[in-house]
Amino acid sequence: MRIIADKYIPYLSGLLEQYADVLYAEPESVTPALVRDADCLIVRTRTRCDRQLLEGSRVRLILTATIGYDHIDTDYCREAGIAWHNAPGCNADGVCDYVESALLATGTLLQGSVLGIVGVGEVGGRVCRMARERGMRVLLCDPPRAEREGAEPFVSIEDLARKSDVITLHPALSRTGKYPSWHLIDEALLRRTKPTALIINAARGGVVDEQALIRSGRRCVIDCWENEPHINPDMLCYADYATCHIAGYTRWGKYRATDICLRELTRFFDISPIRIPKEQVPEHCSTVFDLTPLSEELKAKPQLFELLRKNYRLR
């Protein structure tokens, strides 16, 4: 068996070699030629897994050590008989810490303020609990969940926009389907928000129409960007705080992502369980942190977006 793995996925090196020929690669070097003879890919969001990469290969399984999976062409994978798995919830605690840190950094008055949460999955659920513990009132918007579970306790995105002092975004990114999230925060919706509203995007870049956000004059904290790593310089200058897509970058989150990938790999290929050594398992703890130095560095060196992300010291 041959496995191609992103070299920046921690806790992975040395665990698979007893079962496979493993190549740890730079994301940019993952090409059709490289994956042609691979049985499994273990990637992050920087590797686009689509027909262009996979056609003609013998890849049978794609594992992504991330919550998001919009970098995987799931329709093509289904057509080609390629299984795939993401790591749901792996970095939820880290993103929740980021949102809390953003609230504190912006001087938001928490007690009694209204926090609107768009997307109430693993991350949104944790943010909801954190906000209520902080004395905030919470509005929840998740149309797919509302359809499955009933209208209560959810509100429409329009009601959330009108009533929220802070809107934090946590949906999966989708361009199609019944509830697409691409440019969900657009000019029309922003006009409905309070002039003093704060927008936090620690989900996916495409959830926000960045030019519309700039025109709206609404305050914002941005961790996820359209066209990463070639981010919008106007958005960068405009944001109260700007970071290089590291909201979920914690040691615990990375451990959880790798562990989930290992479990799915051993199940799929029917091999003995592979465990990360206990001495490498990080402590699981909440970490509120200062966004200021991260934001200042990115604003000073936007051309280093990818390097800053790769070299980010895990919390």
- Torsion from C-alpha of 261, 265, 268, 270, nearest 10 degrees: -140
Which listed residue (228, 263, 297, 306) is catalytic? 228
- Distance between CA atoms of 15 and 18, rounded to whole angstroms? 7
Angle at 9 between CA 3 and CA 267, to 5 degrees: 50
Structure tokens given for 186: 């657009």
Dihedral sign for Cα 137, 167, 241, 10, please.
Answer: positive
- Is 51 tagged catalytic? no
Chain mean position to CA 240: 20
Query: Which residues lie closer than 8 Å to 211 by C-beta, 6 or more apart?
Result: 232, 234
Q: H/E element holding 215?
A: helix 210-216
Instruction: Count CB neighbours of 298 within 10 A.
Output: 23
- Annotate 296-310 with three-state secondary structure: HHHHHCHHHHHHHHH
- Is 170 tagged catalytic? no
Q: Using alpha carbons, list the distances in angstroms from residue 46 to 10, 43, 309.
A: 15, 8, 11
Give, rounded to a whole angstrom, the gap between the first and last alpha carbons of the chain: 34
Q: Using alpha carbons, list the distances in angstroms from residue 302 to 52, 226, 235, 284, 309.
A: 29, 14, 11, 31, 11
- Is 245 tagged catalytic? yes
C-alpha closest to that of 240 among 176, 156, 131, 166:
166
Query: Which residues lie closer than 8 Å to 223 by C-beta, 6 or more apart?
Result: 98, 201, 202, 242, 243, 244, 245, 246, 247
Beta-sheet strands, E only, within 53-203: 61-64, 83-85, 114-118, 137-141, 166-169, 198-201
Which listed residue (85, 170, 204, 315) is catalytic? 204
Which listed residue (85, 170, 219, 245) is catalytic? 245
**Which are the catalytic amino acids?**
204, 228, 245
